[in-house]
Amino acid sequence: MAEFISNNVEEMRRWAADFARTLNAPVTVALHGNLGMGKSEIARAIIQTLRGGDTVVPSPTFTIVQNYDGISHFDLYRVADADELAEIGLDYAIENDITLIEWPDVAAGMLPRGTIHVHITAHGEGRKIVVD
């Protein structure tokens, strides 16, 4: 288990960029945290580190999934039924891509052994990031 304290968004992005450089497909990263904790910001920093800083990374809250040439970014906030996960390609992504999943609880039964869990919580004005 690793722990990092971020005092601001830039520190969190730097941590995410360093973390991104350790990822090789196929790997699944489950991003846990309440609304506003920075899950999307971490995903954005990972994607931009691996696919270029000018890569536009919108939150997939409404599209549910965005793909970036071997990186799949899922936001499962609006998915109520695990049966929908195969329809949106989660199983394919897990087997082939660097897969980033926000709100991963609905997919708990599909997450492979070795999933990296990133837990983000408030810590004063910043964030505490715990990786296990």
pLDDT of amino acid 59: 83
Q: Tell me the per-residue pLDDT of 44-97, one tens digit each, with 9 for 90 and over.
A: 999 999 999 999 998 887 889 999 999 999 999 999 899 999 999 999 999 999
- pLDDT for position 61: 79
The letter for the amino acid at 101 is I
Tokens of 86: 């195969």
HSE-CB at 120 with a 13 A cutoff on CA atoms is: 28
Paired tokens of 87: 């329809």
Report the distance separating Cα 31 and Cα 102, nearest Å: 5
Domain span at residue 105 reads 26-124
Q: Residue 79: which CATH number?
A: 3.40.50.300
Assign 106 a pLDDT band (cuts: 50, 70, 90): very high
* Position 69 in a domain: yes
Within a domain: residue 83?
yes
Q: Is the pTM of this model over 0.85?
A: yes
Our measurement of the distance from residue 90's CA atom to the centroid of its chain's CA atoms, rounded to an integer in Å, reads 13
